[in-house]
Amino acid sequence: MEEFLPKIAEILEVESVTPDFKFRSIDEWDSLKGFSIIVLMESDYGKEMPVDTFLACETVEDLAKFAGVA
């Protein structure tokens, strides 16, 4: 997860994130950031993330579990 957290923070354009961080809570949240996370899952972790699965994720840890790094 050490490599995963900075990647998510970069996409979200925040200093850092923790596993319990609710990524949609940032003021700058938009669909482009969501799409970027979905692309990250496939490009870096080889996991094709369906939109429904993404929408069910609430925290960075949920995303990490899907990526297989939690």
Q: What percent of the chain has a predicted confidence (pLDDT) above 70? A: 100
Under the banding of pLDDT at 50, 70 and 90, the label for residue 47 is very high
Whether residue 1 has pLDDT greater than 90: no
CA atoms 39, 40, 44, 50: torsion sign? negative
Query: Which domains are seen in the chain, by residue range?
Result: 4-67 (1.10.1200.10)
Rounded Cα distance between 27 and 41, Å, is: 23
Question: In the chain, pLDDT over 90 holds for what percent of residues?
Answer: 96
Confidence band of 54 (pLDDT split at 50, 70, 90): very high
Task: Please tell me the predicted confidence (pLDDT) of residue 69.
Answer: 95
Give tens-digit pLDDT for 6-29: 999 999 999 999 999 999 999 999
